Amino acid sequence: MSWDNELLERAHKIIELYPQKRSALGPLLYLAQEKDGFISDDSIVEISNLVDITEVQVKSVSSFYSMYKEEQTGTYLLSVCKSISCEINDSRSVINSVKDFTGLENYETDQDKVFTFEEVECIGACGGAPAVQVNYETVEGLTPEKTIEMCEFLKNEKPEVIVADQLQNKFGGTKSFDWAIEDNTGAASTVPGFQNIGTATDEPVCLYPKFLGVS
């Protein structure tokens, strides 16, 4: 059995949220990715048994959506938007700065498994273009210089939890809107931080106050 009792308990709690077991497929795939950094064959078998569908059906979903990874990612997944709003706000320079710093091309992971880089379509931050997601935590209004600073921080400081608001305050610029409720939860893996399925990590205290200039 590839999933331990704790993970299976989380899976069953998620399944209970849905009227049909198969409706929990998406969240369970995120649990699998949180576990291994990608969707392993063992996890596909496990999920198939949990929701009573075939392994082929599970694989057809995990291989269709780009947020489910079929290969091991680095600790930090850098997703740089290349859609039209970001493009006209010079996202290409941001993309090039990430490529220059990491030495990676699109969809590559470095040998030390620190970074995975990908160019992505719209991430819903058009008003704050250009935008980048770090483990699906969005940072808006980035310049090439601030992007490099952010990458240096990730590589050197190695934060265990990525919190969008903290990265935004230090490295970001213009935001799509400023009226959102402050959110101190973040992502501890290359899986979106969803509170309802337990992939969000509470971070009430700043993890790196000295670096961010917070006392």
Q: Are 104 and 92 in contact (CB under 8 A)?
A: no
- pTM summary value: 0.87
Q: Could you give the angle at the alpha carbon of 76 between the alpha carbons of 119 and 158, nearest 5°?
A: 145
Residue 168 pLDDT exceeds 70: yes
Instruction: State mean pLDDT over 37-41.
Output: 94
**Domains, in order of start, for the chain:** 5-62 (1.10.10), 76-212 (3.40.30.10)
Residue 207 has pLDDT above 50, yes or no: no
Residue 19 has pLDDT above 90, yes or no: yes
Q: Where are the alpha helices (DSSP H) in the chain?
A: 5-15, 25-36, 41-51, 55-62, 84-87, 91-102, 144-157, 164-171, 209-212
The answer to whether residue 182 scores a pLDDT higher than 90 is: no
